[in-house]
Amino acid sequence: MNRRGYTAHDIAKMVGGQVVREGNVLASELVPIHQEVKGAISFLRDERFLTEVYRATPRMILTTRQISDKIRHGNHGIVVIENGTSEMYEALALIYDLVTSEDKSLIVPSISPNCEIHPSAVLNGSVHIDDHVVIEAAVSIGSGTRIGSHTKVKSGARIGPNVRVGQRCLIHENAVIGSEGFGFLKSDNGQRIRIPHFASVRIGDQVEIGASTVIDRGSVFDTIIGDGVKLDNLIQIAHGVRIGERTVIAAQSGVSGSTIIGRDCVIGGQVGIAGHLTIADGSQIQAKSGIASSILPEGQKWYGYPALKYLSYLRSYALFKRLPELLDRLERLEKRT
């Protein structure tokens, strides 16, 4: 049975919003703005993604008053939430609960006869598996997952819903891909309310993902791992992160939500990268560094916490090591005077 479709007035009444443009849309499925889905409801709270709105097929858009005033093209229905980020996410949670609680016809699973699946592997619901895929023991694959040709999923790995894995990928033991991201808002009574994560994870071709690495699915935009990316063991990739082609990240590093890492970057072990940043193509970040602001110049080395340009950090550290000696000299000079 198909989900019921909702008008802009239905959505506005449900979430306490206001209809700015009704549009000729009956919406039934919550998806990111860039996905082409008939009957979609999408969430927009960042002006940077207005261009995605203009490319999108007609849909229902939940947004702010300020952004709605700038949407002048397309046949979208628009519902405005007036009172800030917290209310926006509460409205999003209401819609998510509604559309995911209703029945929807399952897509017939498609599993190639030319793949190898261990008897102990668990395939949940609708799964698409291409030719020459190898799935080892105790693997769990969520409904809606697509695994491309020549991919090997190693024992104990768990792949969540709506994940897409490209060709010739290697996923090592106990990796978790597509888990719900870590995002909460604080309600009026002080409780933490989980923000729904309805986007997915898209993994390119020839990607390697190390043991016990976790890649969370996005809330509003997909988490994207580009072609040729290599991720070591014990790495955390948060919701909505995008990692460019051929970037390499060493063990125990963490990337916070919505950060964009460019192509051909090399990131050492135990590096921490804050959220909503941009890391330029070709950046090299030394082990144990902390990145608290965007790196815009391409092809440069960074080191330290918070990170500085590599040579600047080395000079600073050389001075830092001498601070006790310099303090002693200063105190001796003060005594002489």
Strand partners, 237: 215, 255
Closest CA to 6 of 131, 91, 72: 91
Contact 245/230 with Cβ under 8 angstroms? no
Q: Which of 34, 118, 239, 276 is catalytic?
A: 239
Residues 6 or more apart from 266 whose CB is under 8 A from it?
A: 247, 248, 283, 284, 285
For residue 161, whether the previous peptide bond is cis, meaning omega lies within 30 degrees of 0, is no
**Residue at token pair 């990739």:** 237
Closest CA to 36 of 52, 23, 18, 20: 52
Residues 6 or more apart from 315 whose CB is under 8 A from it?
A: none
Distance CA 182, CA 162 (A): 18
Closest CA to 75 of 24, 28, 12, 5: 24
C-alpha distances (whole Å) from 135 to each of 138, 168, 170 are 9, 13, 11
Query: Hey, what amino acid is at 195?
Result: I
Closest CA to 115 of 141, 147, 158: 147
Tokens of 288: 């144990």
Residue 239 annotated in active site: yes
Concatenating the DSSP letter of every residue in 138-166 gives T-EE-TT-EE-TT-EE-TT-EE-TT-EE-
Distance CA 250, CA 262 (A): 16
Contact 206/166 with Cβ under 8 angstroms? yes
Catalytic machinery residues: 239
